[in-house]
């Protein structure tokens, strides 16, 4: 049996081709669509030498009920964003990306993390100790201590504004 394959060439000017930061940021937005968090959909991509090492999104641990099913204690208790992380049943996108790399034995030392939002203090400490050299994010997050710790650790922070595709 012979199959026919149609080839389509996209006629897009080179000027519309995204730079590397926007390319990986676009991917974080797609990763975030897998999130089951009721409050915020976050995606993270760990990259080294322009190669994706791991991805992660925020949600409940493997095999447990998703927040969409179990509900959100922080939401029920009216806990403001950026506070009382210990009440959340989910893992953050950056945490899941680091875990995926560890599970498969992939070193993230000197890698870059792309995230849809600024990492919180919990994730900042993990990224610092993992040897991440740069964090590129789009949306802000109310956590000044995380920014201070990134600065003290000498980790470059870049916030991209309003670029790329929307998922």
94 tagged catalytic: yes
> Residue 114's beta-bridge partner residues?
45, 136
pLDDT tens over the chain, length 167 residues: 565 564 445 455 666 889 999 999 999 999 999 999 888 899 999 999 999 999 999 999 999 988 888 888 888 888 887 788 788 888 999 999 999 999 999 999 999 999 999 999 999 999 999 999 999 999 988 789 999 999 999 999 999 986 555 54
Contact 35, 93 (CB under 8 A): yes
pLDDT of residue 2: 60
pLDDT of residue 98: 99
In the set 83, 86, 94, 148, the catalytic residue is: 94
Instruction: Using alpha carbons, select from 140, 104, 98, 103 the residue that is nearest to residue 119.
Output: 140
pLDDT of residue 4: 57
pLDDT of residue 83: 81
Tell me the DSSP string of 11-45: ---GGGS--HHHHHHHHHHHHHTT---SS---EEE
The SS3 assignment for 53 reads strand
| Two structure tokens written together for 31 | 């990763």
d(CA 84, CA 79): 7
Provide the whole-model pTM: 0.86
pLDDT of residue 152: 97
pLDDT of residue 7: 44
Instruction: Using alpha carbons, select from 131, 92, 125 the residue that is nearest to residue 108.
Output: 131
Q: What structural domains does the chain harbor?
A: 18-159 (3.40.140.10)
């Amino acid at each position: 049996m012979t199959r026919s394959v149609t080839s389509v060439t996209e006629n897009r000017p080179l000027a519309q081709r995204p730079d590397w930061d926007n390319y990986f940021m676009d991917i974080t937005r797609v990763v975030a669509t897998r999130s089951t968090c009721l409050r915020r959909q976050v995606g993270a991509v760990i990259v080294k030498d322009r190669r994706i090492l791991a991805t992660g999104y925020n949600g409940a641990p493997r095999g447990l009920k998703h927040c969409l099913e179990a509900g959100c204690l922080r939401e029920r208790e009216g806990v403001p964003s950026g506070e009382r992380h210990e009440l959340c049943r989910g893992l953050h996108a950056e945490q899941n990306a680091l875990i995926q790399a560890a599970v498969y034995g992939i070193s993230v030392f000197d890698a870059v993390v792309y995230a849809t939002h600024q990492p919180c203090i919990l994730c900042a400490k993990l990224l610092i100790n993992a040897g991440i050299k740069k964090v590129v994010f789009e949306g802000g997050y109310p956590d000044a201590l995380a920014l201070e710790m990134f600065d003290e650790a000498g980790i470059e922070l870049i916030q991209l504004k309003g670029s790329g595709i929307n998922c």
